[in-house]
Amino acid sequence: MQNIQGIKFKLKTKEQWFCDVCSGVIETAKDGMLEWDSLISEEGMIDAKNFRIVHVRSIEGCKNNRSEEHLADGHLHWFTGPNGLNNLLSMYERYTFDPIEFNKIIRRIHVDFYEEGARLSQLAREDSYEIDPYDSGDINQDDLLWLIRKYGNENCILMILSPLSRQVLNKSTKVNLEGIFHGEAA
Ligand SMILES: [Zn+2]
């Protein structure tokens, strides 16, 4: 497996994730959940949407604004590894959902470096690089590694922020990064 040298902050590939609620690091799959909203559509199908990778609800400091209305979920470790990939793919048979949204979840769980690299792709688009121009989530390994090398250090705070938080944070914001990282520093 390729490695990323010289990056101050990195996740253990496919063992750690960023939480979509608190933006903190999910240290192991056992600390995480895959959640989604489950709704019955007019056609009687089960619609799933708002897929998110989050801390288990018992984790301190990760409880903000977490509605349980329409909540469906599964432990993140049910969805990791080869059996986990099977479980994810079988959801195509049981639910209707936006495949682009759901494929991003599959990639976050199963594609090396996707969790860190993909969230930097917006920065590359702002710099006029043609990486995933339509935000479909289709980013190859070379581009993921390039994104992490190019933007990973100077924007490491952006990597750990939720997409919403990143929208309101100016790219050039200077923030003391010490103390923010509670994952593994390289
Ligand atoms: Zn969290």
* pLDDT, tens only, 50-98: 999 999 988 887 876 677 899 999 999 999 999 999 999 999 999 999 9
Question: Average pLDDT over the chain, rounded to whole?
Answer: 82
- In tens, the pLDDT along 95-134 reads 999 999 999 999 999 999 999 899 889 889 989 999 999 9
25 CA from centroid of ligand 1 (Å): 7
Confidence at residue 177, expressed as pLDDT on a 0 to 100 scale: 38
For the chain, the domains span 16-110, 114-175
Query: Is the four-CA dihedral 128, 175, 112, 164 of positive or negative sign?
Result: negative
Query: How far, in Å, from the CA of 18 to the mean position of ligand 1?
Result: 8
> From ligand 1's centre to the CA of 20, what distance in Å?
7
Residue range 124-177, pLDDT digits in tens: 998 999 999 999 999 999 999 999 888 887 666 555 555 544 444 434 333 433
Measure 124 CA to ligand 1 centroid, in angstroms: 26
Q: How far is the CA of 21 from the centre of ligand 1 (A)?
A: 5
58 CA to middle of ligand 1, Å? 10
User: What is the CA(179)–ligand 1 centre distance, in A?
Assistant: 16
| 128 CA from centroid of ligand 1 (Å) | 32
Q: Is the confidence at residue 44, as pLDDT, over 90?
A: no
What is the C-alpha separation between 131 and 144, in angstroms, rounded?
9
Contacts 24+ apart (CB under 8 A), 168-177: 171/123, 171/126
What DSSP assignment string belongs to 19-39? Answer: -TTT--EE-SGGGEEEEEEEE
In this prediction, residues 18-30 reach a mean pLDDT of 90
Tokens coding 52 = 């998110």
pTM beyond 0.95, yes or no: no
Q: Report the separation in Å between the CA atom of 73 and the middle of ligand 1, taken as the mean of its atom positions.
A: 15
Distance 19 CA to ligand 1 centre (A): 5
